[in-house]
Homo-oligomer: A and B are copies of this chain.
Amino acid sequence: MAIREELRSGCFWRGVLAEAAATLIFVGVVLGASAAPGPLAPALARGLAAGALACSLGAPQANPALTLALLCTRKLGALRGAAGLLAQCAGALLAAAAARLALPDDAGLVTRVSAAGTAGQALGWEIFATFQLALAAFAAADWPAPQGGLALGSAVAAGALAAGPFSGGSMNPARSLGPAVVTGIWDDHWVYWLGPVLGAVLAGLCHELLFAAGASRERLGA
């Protein structure tokens, strides 16, 4: 049976492990850099880490929103996608637990809606930032690693700079889930799942239907 075979293949488990390791590294870098004052250091750290990971770990998604978008556009099998999602959440939890031990103060870990704005505005920014990030991720999938990583890292940093003041610029449900579990602060947590997933799925559909070379309705067809 296909599923049993897939579960026995080294390649499958290696990819799942890479997802866990990449999300652990990504979330660890973001949480460490969030201790710096100002919006620039966390945004750049996020982009640089995403770019480097795309090169060093064989282009993992490290982001549940991207994985769901790949599932929706039928670029990833259901089993591999589900295992990847679990691995990402486990990696993010581990990173958040470690960061809580390693940080003097855990208030800055959680992504929050800006006090000057509403949850709806933060949702809008998360959708927008993840939309442009996922467009770059879908396009980057066609290039060899270091160049695709460059485009991806740029989009991650640009989105974090744009959405940062309003929603924390998460663009990644795993990055928001880890700290929420560890600190028990779940305020507006739905924003960080709904926004990125909507944005990424929308971008995946736009890429397949409109922007990809050879885009057409058939690419999504049964």
Contacts and interface: CB of A to CB of B under 8 A. Distances in A.
Given A40-B40, A48-B47, A155-B48, A136 B29 contact: no
B48 A125 contact: no
A36 B40 contact: yes
Nearest to A139: B56
B102 A56 contact: no
Q: How large is the interface on A (under 10, 10 to 19, 20 to 34, 35 or more residues)?
A: 35 or more
Contacts of A135: 25, 56-57
A73 interface: no
Nearest to A33: B161
Given A55-B136, A132-B25, A146-B143, A162 B45 contact: yes
A158 B49 contact: yes
Interface of A: 14, 17-18, 21, 25, 28-33, 35-45, 47-49, 51-53, 55-58, 98, 101-105, 114, 116-117, 121, 124-125, 128-129, 131-132, 135-136, 138-140, 143, 145-155, 157-159, 161-166, 206, 210-211, 213, 215
